[in-house]
Structure 1
Amino acid sequence: MSVRIRKYSWQLAPEAVRNIRQSVFVEEQKVPPELEWDDTDDIADHFLAVLPDNTPAGVARLFSTLEETGHIGRMAILPEFRGQGIGEALLRHMIAESAGRYQELKLSAQQHAVAFYQRAGFHVCSDPYDDAGIPHLDMHCLAPALLESQAGTERSRPMLLGEDTQSWLFDNERSLIDLTDSMVGQADQRLWLYDRLLDHDLYDRQRFRELVSSLARRHRLSEIRLLIHDDQPLIKRRHRLVELMRRLPSRIKLRLVNADHPHEGQPFMLADREGVVYRHDFTRPSGFAAFADSRRVTLLSEQFQRMWDVGQHSLELRELPL
C-alpha cells in the first residue's frame, strides 16, 4: 500500500498522533495512561503514516539520549491497516532518518513483534521482561547506515546471525566496525579473533569492549580467544580488551602466533559456528562479512585451532598492573 510519512515535534503534531496511540496502547492493549504518556514525547520526533487520501494509519517516535544512539518507540498501526506494509514503511523511514545521525538504534519490542523487527535488521539483546503487563525484549541495530544502503534489496533478516545468507562486502573502516560489532553483539558463546595486532581504532573502542564483556559474562561456557602477532602496542598503551581480559581470565584468553609454524596471511573473526568477518589483508579495511556461513567458519576454525595450539603466551602482558 502506498503510504507517506510525515515528521512532527510533539508541540506541532496533529491530534491523530495522540489518538492512534490512545486507541492502540491504552484502549486495545490496556496500557495504563500514566505509562503511555511521558516526558520523552517532548524531545522526540514523531512520525505519522498517512494513506494517499490523508487518512492517518500509524505512528512512531524517535529520540536520542546519547549522541550516537537513537531510540525507536511507541510504534502503533491501527487495526484496520495492519498487514499492509505500513509498519515496514514506517520503520524503514526511521532507519533512513537515523543513518546519518546515529551509529546505533535501540527499541523495546513486544514479544509477538520480534520477527517484524528482525526482518528490518534488528536483533534481540535481552531476556524477556514485563512492561505494562506485556512481554517485551530489547533489540538493537548496530549499523543503521548499512541497512539504509541496502534499502530496496531482497535481503531476508539482514545481519541476523544464522539467518542472513548473503555476504556483506566492505571497503572502509566504518562498515568494517559496524559489521564487526553486529556480529559480536549476537554471538552466544564463541568469539575467535585473529589479527596482526589489536588495532586501537578497531578493537579499543567502548562499544566493542561492552559487547565483548557481555558475551564473556553470558554463561560459564563463553569462550573468547584473541590470537595476534604483535603484543608490543598493548604493552605501550592501555587497551580496553587487555583490561577486560585480566578481569575475566577464564573467559578471555590471548596468545601470540608462533612464527616458526604455518600461519594465515589474512585476519578474520569467527562468531559462534556461523558468523565470519574476513579481511583481505592486515593493513586495509577491505573484505566481507557472512552471518550464516557454517562451512567457511568450520574451515577457518580448523586453521585457527592449529595456530592456537602452537601459540605462545604473552609474559609481558601478564605482568602489567591492572
Structure 2
Amino acid sequence: MQHTTQVSRVTAPADLENVFAIRREVFVVEQNCPPELEWEFEDESTHFLATVDGEPAGACRWRKTDKGYKLERFAVLAKFRGKGVGQELVKAVLADLPTDAAYVYMHAQIQAVPLYEKFNFVKIGDEFEEAGIRHFKMIKNG
C-alpha cells in the first residue's frame, strides 16, 4: 500500500507540540536522553514535521550557529522507520536552508550515518558521545 509522506516547516503551536512529542518519544523515552539536554535552542530553531497519511511520524530542525547551519534532532517514530521518512526530512531541511548556507553540519548518531552519507555528508574526526549516545560530526560536502 502506498503511503503519502509530507514534510512541512512548522510554527503553529499544535504542530510544534507534535514535533516535541515525537522527540520526547524517540530521544527521552527510547534513547534515555536527559530531558534537560533535549529541550534547548527551540526559539532560534526552524522546525519540521513529517506526516505519513496525515499522522505525525517524524521531526527535525535546523539552526544558525557561530559555525554555520546545524541540522539537529532528526527523529522518526518506531512504527514509521524504514519507510523513507528520514530521507524526506533531510531533503526538506536542506531545501529550506538559506542559499548562502556554505557550512552545513550535524552530530549524527552512528546508526544514521549511512542516511546522511546519501546526501553528501562526510564524517569528520573521531566518534564521540553526546547524551550517552555515540555520534560522528558530519559536514555537507558540496
TM-score, normalisation: structure 1: 0.41
Hey, what's the Cα distance between the residues in 1 that align with 2:109 and 2:76? 14
Match of 1:61 in 2: 61
Contact kept in structure 2, 1:62 and 1:70, CA below 8 Å: yes
Q: Check whether the contact 2:9–2:49 (CA below 8 A) recurs between aligned residues.
A: yes
Give aligned-pair identity as a percent.
34
Give the strand-richer structure, 1 or 2: 2
Aligned to 1:2: 4
Task: Provide the C-alpha distance between the structure 2 equivalents of 1:126 and 1:9, rounded to a whole number of angstroms.
Answer: 34
Conserved? CA contact 1:13–1:46, under 8 Å: no
Distance 2:123 2:12 in 1: 29
- Shift of the 78–139 alpha-carbon distance from structure 1 to 2, 3 Å rule, reads same
Q: Is the 8 A contact 1:11 1:42 kept in 2?
A: no
Partner of 2:104: 105
Contact 1:9 1:42 in 2 (8 A): no
AA aligned opposite 2:21:
N
Larger Rg: 1
1:22: which partner in 2? 24
2:24 partner amino acid: Q
Two-structure CA RMSD over aligned residues (Å): 1.8
Residues 183-240 of structure 1, C-alpha deviation per residue, up to 9 Å, x if partnerless? xxxxxxxxxxxxxxxxxxxxxxxxxxxxxxxxxxxxxxxxxxxxxxxxxxxxxxxxxx
Residues 11/71 of structure 1: CA separation in 2 closer, same or farther (3 Å cut): farther
- Quick one: structure 1 residues 89 and 142, their matched pair in 2 at CA, closer, same or farther if it must change by over 3 Å? same
Q: Give the whole-Å Cα distance in 1 for the aligned partners of 2:14 and 2:44.
A: 12
* CA distance in 2 between partners of 1:93 and 1:56 (Å): 16
CA positional deviation for 1:86: 0.7
Q: When the two structures are superposed, what TM-score results if normalisation uses the length of structure 2?
A: 0.91
| Structure 2: 5+ residue stretches without partners | none
| Whole-Å separation in 1 of the counterparts to 2:43 and 2:12 | 6
Matched, 1:47 2:51: no
